[in-house]
Structure 1
Amino acid sequence: MKFPEDYINKFIFGDCLEMMQGIPDGSVGLVVTSPPYNIKNSTGNGMKDGRGGKWKNAALIKGYQSYDDCMPYEEYVQWQRNCLNEMYRIIPEDGAIFYNHKWRVQKGILQDRREIIDGFPVRQIIIWRRKGGINFNPGYYLPTYEVIYLIAKPKFRLTKGANSYGDIWEFTQERNNPHPAPFPVELIERIVSSSPADIVLDPFMGSGTTAVAANNFGRSFIGIDISDEYCKLAEERIKTGNLKDLSKSKEEEKGLLFK
């Protein structure tokens, strides 16, 4: 593949590390992503044994398409560090990475992902406060947030007015999406609009939310995903720019609307 013609405004089916190696140094102004959380390797979350009512049928019980999300933790950490190294290489001196992850309690101890981000220039931690949730463990309170690490090179600056946002953002999880763990569009739109970058990369593109947000602000995007099904889903979504076109509305499910 050749950069940029085989990458820009396309969804690339393949391994993100391999694909990012084909992107030149300093050529992508902004990376926005959320990797798989290794959720099936977690302890005490109800996913591994199927506890928890509606979660018995949750999509993440089965893992992602083409990826089961269950690696030995040390391997997972090294994989994510390798990914971040590639992301950091391809952003310029005024570029940034917004890396969304989730802290977990593992065997009674907080796992705050410091093993992954250690050594990278984390400029700020943004808290994405989600509405609602479920907790299977009586040993700690219900987690209601995820963490976005702003990893920035020295010359990165926000667009005019963006610095007035606080560092706690409240957005409801996206529920009308067949992907098991989608971003809310509004969350990514805030990030994209806060950066002057012309090209936005998401190496774990999933259903294409980052591409939709980039498109909404007239930016180019690069989407990479290991699932061919998710790439096709993202391609369909970028055509419509609307999640509601991807799954049936409540009225359609009830048979009240006809195509």
Structure 2
Amino acid sequence: MSILDGWLDADVLLTDPPYGIDYQSGSRRADLAASILGDKDTAARDTALTAWGDRPALVFGTWRIPRPERTHTRLIWDTKGALGMGDLSVPWKPSDQEIYVLGKGFTGRRDSNVLTCPPVQSTAKNGRLHPHEKPIDLLWRLIDKCPAGVIADPFAGSGSTLVAAATAGRRAVGVELNERYCEVIAKRLAQGALNFGSAS
């Protein structure tokens, strides 16, 4: 089984797909891309979720775009006021992102749907590896309530979901089309914490 096919054999999906907002960063980032592949529309997200079916999934997104079909719960990631400038014509700046819950089987203590966690530093010189990198602490909290089994991330980016899964003692499989980010993922997982073999 190849990794490209293998993600569909996993047990739970945790992913940060291209939202479909055609994001273009206006900030000067010497080593970070201003945008990501496939972010012109929701086609990549929707194709992956159609293939995934009605199994358990946690999917990052935004209120600007229609939520994925079968979303039954919305989580809010409170970034503690650190999430860019937003619309400068209003006296509020964005400080949250949405996470959509699809499927069943999530477990654990019943908590608030608002998860407060600072984001990864905004520039590469401060350690950021990807323009949309998610913090490991936030991913741990999500993984903690995921059903047992292998975690899939078909939009792996810099591999944060894979790193979080490995450090949580969970097996995971990821797919990333950008070769540069594949190299970043390989470096982050260089200690061999993850088994990329059969998902069974």
8 Å contact 1:88–1:97 — kept in the other structure?
Answer: no
Output the CA distance in 1 between the equivalents of 2:43 and 2:20. Answer: 13
Q: Is the 8 A contact 1:121 1:151 kept in 2?
A: yes
**Secondary structure at 2:129's aligned position in 1?**
coil
Paired residues of 2:15 and 2:155 also in contact (CA < 8 A): yes
Judged with a 3 Å threshold, the aligned counterparts in structure 2 of structure 1 residues 148 and 30 are, in CA distance, closer, same or farther, namely same
Q: Which runs of 5+ in 2 are unaligned?
A: 122-126, 193-200
Contact 2:20–2:42, Cα closer than 8 Å, also in 1? no
- Does 2:81 correspond to 1:99? no
Structure-1 residue corresponding to 2:76 = 127
* Distance of aligned partners of 1:168 and 1:200 in 2 relative to their CA distance in 1, 3 Å threshold: same
Q: What is residue 166 of structure 1 aligned with on the other side? A: 112
Q: TM-score when scaled to structure 2?
A: 0.80
**AA aligned opposite 2:163:** V
| 1:29 equivalent in alignment to 2:11 | yes
Deviation at 1:233?
0.6
Structure 2: how far apart are the matches of 1:82 and 1:34? 14
Is there any run of 5+ residues in structure 1 with no aligned partner, and where? 8-18, 104-110, 242-259
228-237 or 80-89, which moves further after superposition? 80-89
Question: Are residues 217 and 29 of structure 1, via their aligned partners in 2, closer, same or farther at CA, if it must alter by over 3 Å?
Answer: same
CA-atom RMSD in angstroms: 2.5
The separation in 2 between residues aligned to 1:57 and 1:219, in whole angstroms, is 33
1:224/1:165 CA distance change after superposition, 3 Å: same
Write out aligned runs for 1:134-145 (5 A): 134-139=85-90, 141-145=92-96
Distance 1:216 1:195 in 2: 15
- Classify the secondary structure of the residue corresponding to 1:233: helix
Alpha-carbon distance in 2 for matches of 1:240, 1:173: 25
Between the aligned residues of both structures, percent identity stands at 22
Counting only pairs closer than 5 Å after superposition, residues 1-259 of structure 1 correspond to structure 2 as 2=1, 6-7=2-3, 19=4, 22-23=5-6, 27-39=9-21, 41=22, 47=24, 50=26, 55-57=27-29, 59-61=32-34, 63-64=35-36, 67=37, 71=40, 76-88=41-53, 91=55, 96-103=56-63, 111=64, 113-114=65-66, 116-117=67-68, 120-131=69-80, 132-133=82-83, 134-139=85-90, 141-152=92-103, 156-159=104-107, 162-175=108-121, 176-239=127-190
Aligned partners of 1:102 and 1:145 also within 8 Å: no
Contact map agreement 2:14 2:57 (CA 8 A) in 1: yes
The alpha carbon displacement at 1:24 in A equals 8.5
Q: In the TM superposition, what whole-angstrom CA distance separates every residue of 1:50-86 from its partner, at most 9, and x where no partner exists?
A: 4xxxx1337343x23xx3x552xxxx23332222101
